[in-house]
Amino acid sequence: MSSPYQRLAALLVVGALGLGPSAAAADTVTIGLAQSITGGSPALYGIEQKNAAELAVDEANAAKLLGDRKIQLVHLDDGADRGQTVNVFQRLIGRDKVVAIIGPTLSTGAFAADPIAQKAGVPVVAASNTASGVTDIGDYIFRVSPPEDRVTPGVLKTVVDRFKVKRVAQIYGIDDQLTKSAYNTQKKALEALGVEIVATETFQRGDVEFAAQLTKIKAAQPDLIVLGSLAEESAGILRQARQLGIPKEVVFVGTQSSISSKFFELAGPAAEGLIAGTAWYIDSPEPKNQEFVKKYEARFGRKPDIYSAYGYDAASLVINAIKEAGSGDRKAVRDNLAKTKNFPGVLGPIGFDAGREPVIDPKILVASGGRFVIFK
């Protein structure tokens, strides 16, 4: 057994390596990637964004999009802990001197860390923050993932009109900002449509048991059930709803997060008929999309989901802004991001509006035969 001194010394050396200045080659442009890859369910969409960003950067480097300069992507994991998100941002900005940051995964992390980037003048492009108010933090904060209030009201209006819905039940995750803000938006839209909300049930992150809530909902006899849940939860709810015998005529509407192959895998035949509004789906005929899907699957061994798409476009937009700016100047990159209109992305022609929200064309999809197709 080594002496305490040796152990302490070893620990300090390792630590110093970790805390020392990082060496970036002279001809590189560094982009920061703040995504959660550990820490529970946020890791599910953090990993997708990370993978997609890496894909975009590698492609850009291979195609020499920035001429002789190489793009270096520095990823730091915040463990879905917002205190760490702040640490990560400070480190990326101060130590790694990034030109821009893609992320963070969670909206709560964004509220805590984005102000720091804003103050330091580092542009941030988020690919999975859907809570309202994120872009209000400042003019350096951009978003590729459309907030729920851009997508949901349209979907609900279409569904209510088409199916002559009178009674609605809602079930949502109370402790996750994505699902909670989705619920708020859905509720507002439903109230505006004048339908009767006959039941409201909640669940918590990590829950897989919905029988109790669904039994209550079934008793209230709704025509439509609106889900404020992530893909795995939506799948679980649908499966158990069918198992409990909720009638086939009842329509289900889900959030953007349901747009993933994972959803079909987990829900099985119960997935049939789920309606969701989104900016992207895997069969989208956009030319860049088909290429992206193939490359993503080839490299990562599974199909991309909606967060992969958002992450890819976020990275592409940042790279494009750097190219347009012609330098690694943070303000120039920010200005170019703000000017972006009709950039050919996986999501279709994409750009930012005056509020730095994404300008996209939301579509309404329905799950049919194991994939999402346009709802007619």
19 binds another protein (CB under 8 A): yes
236 binds another protein (CB under 8 A): yes
Min dist CB 175 to another protein, Å, is: 5
Instruction: Tell me which residue of 318, 315, 360 sits closest to 52, measured CA to CA.
Output: 315
Torsion sign over Cα 17, 15, 51, 178: negative
Q: In whole angstroms, give the CA distance from residue 51 to residue 312.
A: 8
Residue 293 · residue 70 · CB < 8 Å = no
**Residues β-bridged to residue 225:** 169, 252
Angle at 83 between CA 203 and CA 356, to 5 degrees: 80
Min dist CB 218 to another protein, Å, is: 8
75 binds another protein (CB under 8 A): yes
- Pick from 30, 49, 51, 84: which binds another protein (CB under 8 A)? 84
Q: In whole angstroms, give the CA distance from residue 119 to residue 134.
A: 15
Q: Which residues 253-272 are close enough to bind another protein by CB under 8 A? A: 262, 265-266, 268-269
Site string for another protein, 125-164 (x = CB under 8 A): ------x-x-------------------------------
First to last CA, the chain: 71
Q: What pairing do the DSSP bridges indicate for beta strands 343-345 and 196-203?
A: unpaired
37 binds another protein (CB under 8 A): yes
**Residues β-bridged to residue 34:** 76
Min dist CB 62 to another protein, Å, is: 22
- Write out the two tokens for 33: 């990637």
93 binds another protein (CB under 8 A): yes
Q: In whole angstroms, give the CA distance from residue 226 to residue 234.
A: 10
373 binds another protein (CB under 8 A): no
**Contact residues: another protein, CB under 8 A:** 1, 4-5, 7-8, 14-15, 17-19, 37-38, 40-41, 43-44, 47, 75-77, 79, 82-84, 86-87, 90-91, 93-95, 107-108, 111-113, 115, 131, 133, 174-177, 180-181, 201-204, 206-209, 211-213, 215-216, 219, 232, 236, 239, 243-245, 262, 265-266, 268-269
